[in-house]
């Protein structure tokens, strides 16, 4: 009898508990609702939903179409009917030169130009529009796509620009192609020695500079344009660059960035003026100087991590160059140029000193590390910092983590280091990776699955303006590992491919974790920031060749629509 009575009480308790859990919402109505959507939340506790409700900047419900109605006030709530379209968390670019990307939109763009003759014509046209002595700038050329795959020379530019400085950055930004005007003004001759962290490429016969300057050698080219801007003109140009960058981000669903060039005051200005349409974590330069670290600590207090809009991030340093420029730091020489195994940006002892010093002050650190040796040095220095300063939740980051020793992959997990990676680098660099470093070393290249299986946290970004800002290109690269034209076959090292949902996770929650914001960003979940993106196509099911042509229909930041594609139905 007692057991029967206890069972009845248990049933009554469970019924009352279920009733309490399903109690109708009694709070204030939502400001904004999306319904009839296919929502991929990246929340493992609630992976799929149909509707989301927002009040203020935050999500108040992620639920079904049936349950969403209780959050809607027909007179005040803005409702978007998704009509079955895909909605995901706002995309968070973990590695982006945002202001530089905006500036590049005002200069010559050679991203899709694959011959020097077209570049020469574009420069000639720009010269016609410019005054004598005015600097001609551009970026995005890639000699590996030229028919002869040869580095270009100053003579190509001299014929069309004898009286203007011309400075054209390679796609990776780690080499620059200049004309004789620049070389002469900079006072560089065949007798000028290479700086410790750079290379002046010289003709093997004459010894004269060819016009290509790699890594630190670019710093020798301090040539002032004869056409100087006023302070007002310079400020207007800076504003314009950020406006262009923000427009590009809105159109491609980027709601958060981890900015590599400081510019915090410019972002704050736009925020104060109501023009900032994404969230910013900005990063500063790595140093071991005590006074500089103190000033950075003050800056960190001004832009604390609790801020949801503009926050201090990590301290950025460099240890090597790039695969494309042949300056990534490797243990063994390059296969296509056995005379070099890359360029360290400083001796290891100095590198370690900087990391230990910054870590001792509680800073997060991000290191540009491409090659096997560069990444190994990064891990060694992080390990040393833990030995000296003790372990903490530091989340130090290898920015790129492109080519790894297989034995170093588990060390990322052991040291709780983050692999901050840009998936489009894989499909760009694979064109020449095996030629440059050989098949065996490529087994540790862009090794997403190997890193994940080892328990490593990965954050995704683009490295814009090195690669396009559009995350769809990165998502395509992640699931296909094929070139942008969609080559036949299974892709390059197909065992490293990701599912679309995992790729989206690394571009959202993975990036949020890398900036210590996984508690409020990166998922569509109650209490999280209401940043989300709606696409015209279902990225989860469409063929790979339809991913990049897909479009963002809505970009929403803090519950406000900051972008709606032309032609999309009104809510």
Residue 154 located in a structural domain: yes
- 127 and 47 share a domain? no
Domain containing residue 55: CATH number: 2.30.40.10
Q: Where are the alpha helices (DSSP H) in 170-305?
A: 180-185, 231-252, 264-272, 290-302
- Which residues of the chain have a pLDDT value below 50? 1-21, 571
Last residue of a domain, one of 157, 188, 220: 220
My answer on whether 119 and 198 are in the same domain is yes
Q: Is 566 part of any domain?
A: yes
If asked whether residues 152 and 211 sit together in one domain, one would say yes
Segments forming the whole domain that contains residue 80: 27-90+522-571
Beta strands 51-55 and 58-63: pairing type? antiparallel
Give the tokens for residue 90: 């706002």
Report pLDDT digits (tens) over 5-61: 444 444 444 444 444 445 789 899 999 999 999 999 999 999 999 999 999 999 999
Task: Please say whether the beta carbons of 429 and 323 come within 8 A.
Answer: yes
- The DSSP code for 274 is T
562 lies in some domain: yes
Residue 93 bridge partners (DSSP): 257
Residue 59 is assigned to a structural domain of this protein: yes
Domain boundary among 167, 202, 220: 220
Question: What does the H/E/C string look like for 335-383?
Answer: CCCCCCCCCCCCCHHHHHHHHHHHHHCCCCEEEEECCHHHHHHHHHHHH
Domain boundary among 198, 220, 242: 220
pLDDT for residue 177: 97
Give the sign of the dihedral formed by CA 26, CA 31, CA 35, CA 39: negative
Whether 369 is in a domain gets the answer no
Asked if residue 83 and residue 117 are part of one domain, the reply reads no
Cα distances (Å, whole numbers) of residue 18 to 12, 13, 23, 538: 10, 9, 9, 34
The CATH number of the domain holding residue 192 is 3.10.310.70
pLDDT at 184: 94
Q: Which two tokens stand for residue 22?
A: 């399903």
User: Tell me: the pLDDT tens digits for 315-336?
Assistant: 999 999 999 999 999 999 999 9
Edge-to-edge order in the sheet of strand 48-49: 48-49, 38-40, 86-89, 532-535, 552-557, 560-564
- pLDDT, residue 222, reads 81
Q: What are phi and psi of 237, to 5 degrees?
A: -65, -40
Same domain, 128 and 214: yes
| Per-residue pLDDT, 86 | 98
Q: What pLDDT score does 428 carry?
A: 95
Token pair for residue 327?
Answer: 């300056």
Greatest CA separation for the chain: 105
How many domains is the chain built from? Answer: 2
| In a shared domain, residues 59 and 123 | no
If asked whether residues 119 and 177 sit together in one domain, one would say yes
User: Measured between alpha carbons, how far is 524 from 37 in angstroms, rounded to an integer?
Assistant: 13
The verdict on 214 and 172 lying in the same domain is yes
DSSP 475-541: HHHHHH---TT--SSS-SSGGG---HHHHHHHHTHHHHHHTT-TTTSSS--TTSB--EEEESS-TTT
Query: What is the C-alpha to C-alpha distance for residues 107 and 248, in angstroms, rounded to an integer?
Result: 15
Q: Classify residue 1: in a domain, yes or no.
A: no
460 falls within a domain? no
Query: Are 182 and 158 in the same domain?
Result: yes
* Whole-number pLDDT of residue 224: 67
Q: Give residue 203's pLDDT.
A: 95
Could you tell me if 82 and 109 lie in one domain?
A: no
Is residue 506 included in any domain, yes or no? no
């Amino acid at each position: 009898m007692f057991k029967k009575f206890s069972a009845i009480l248990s049933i009554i308790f469970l019924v009352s508990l279920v009733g309490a859990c399903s109690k109708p919402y009694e709070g204030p109505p939502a400001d904004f609702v999306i319904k009839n959507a296919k929502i991929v939340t990246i929340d493992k506790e609630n992976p799929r939903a149909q509707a989301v409700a927002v009040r203020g900047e935050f999500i108040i419900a992620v639920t079904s179409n049936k349950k969403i109605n209780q959050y809607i006030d027909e007179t005040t709530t803005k409702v978007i009917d998704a009509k079955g379209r895909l909605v995901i968390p706002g995309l968070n670019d973990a590695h982006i030169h945002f202001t530089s990307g905006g500036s590049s939109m005002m200069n010559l763009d050679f991203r899709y130009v694959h011959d020097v003759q077209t570049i020469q014509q574009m420069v000639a046209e720009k010269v016609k529009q410019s005054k004598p002595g005015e600097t001609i700038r551009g970026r995005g050329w890639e000699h590996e796509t030229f028919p002869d795959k040869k580095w270009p020379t100053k003579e190509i530019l001299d014929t069309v620009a004898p009286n203007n400085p011309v400075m054209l950055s390679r796609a990776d930004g780690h080499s620059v192609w200049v004309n004789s005007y620049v070389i002469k003004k900079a006072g560089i001759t065949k007798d000028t020695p290479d700086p410790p962290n750079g290379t002046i490429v010289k003709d093997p016969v004459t010894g004269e500079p060819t016009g290509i300057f790699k890594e630190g050698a670019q710093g020798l080219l301090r040539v002032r344009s004869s056409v100087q801007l006023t302070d007002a003109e310079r400020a207007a140009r800076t504003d314009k660059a950020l406006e262009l960058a923000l427009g590009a981000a809105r159109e491609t669903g980027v709601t958060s960035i981890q900015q590599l060039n400081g510019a915090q005051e410019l972002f704050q200005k736009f925020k104060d003026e109501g023009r900032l349409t994404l969230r910013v974590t900005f990063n500063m330069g790595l140093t071991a100087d005590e006074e500089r670290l103190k000033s950075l600590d003050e800056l960190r207090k001004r832009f604390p991590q609790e801020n949801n809009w503009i926050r201090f991030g990590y301290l950025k340093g460099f240890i090597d160059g790039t695969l494309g420029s042949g300056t990534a730091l490797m243990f063994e020489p390059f296969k296509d140029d056995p005379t070099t195994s890359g360029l360290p940006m400083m001796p290891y002892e100095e590198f370690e000193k900087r990391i230990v010093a910054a870590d001792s002050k509680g800073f997060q650190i991000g290191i540009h590390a491409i090659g096997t040796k560069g990444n190994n040095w990064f891990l060694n220095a992080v390990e040393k910092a833990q030995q000296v300063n003790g372990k903490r939740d530091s989340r130090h980051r290898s920015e790129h983590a492109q080519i790894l020793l297989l034995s170093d992959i588990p060390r990322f997990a052991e040291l709780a280091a983050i692999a901050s990676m840009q998936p489009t680098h894989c499909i760009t660099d694979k064109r020449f990776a095996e030629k440059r470093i050989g098949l065996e070393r490529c087994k540790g290249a862009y090794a997403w699955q190997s890193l994940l299986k080892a328990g490593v946290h990965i954050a995704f970004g683009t490295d814009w303006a090195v690669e396009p800002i559009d995350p769809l290109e990165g998502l395509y690269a992640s699931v296909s590992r094929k070139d942008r034209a969609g080559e036949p076959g299974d892709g390059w090292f197909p065992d490293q491919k990701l599912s679309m949902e995992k790729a989206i996770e690394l571009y959202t929650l993975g990036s949020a974790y890398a900036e210590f914001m996984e508690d409020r960003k990166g998922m569509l979940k109650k209490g999280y920031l209401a940043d989300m993106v709606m696409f015209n196509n279902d990225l989860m099911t469409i063929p790979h060749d339809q991913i990049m042509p897909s479009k963002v229909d809505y970009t929403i930041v803090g519950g406000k629509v900051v972008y709606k594609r032309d032609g999309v139905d009104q809510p």
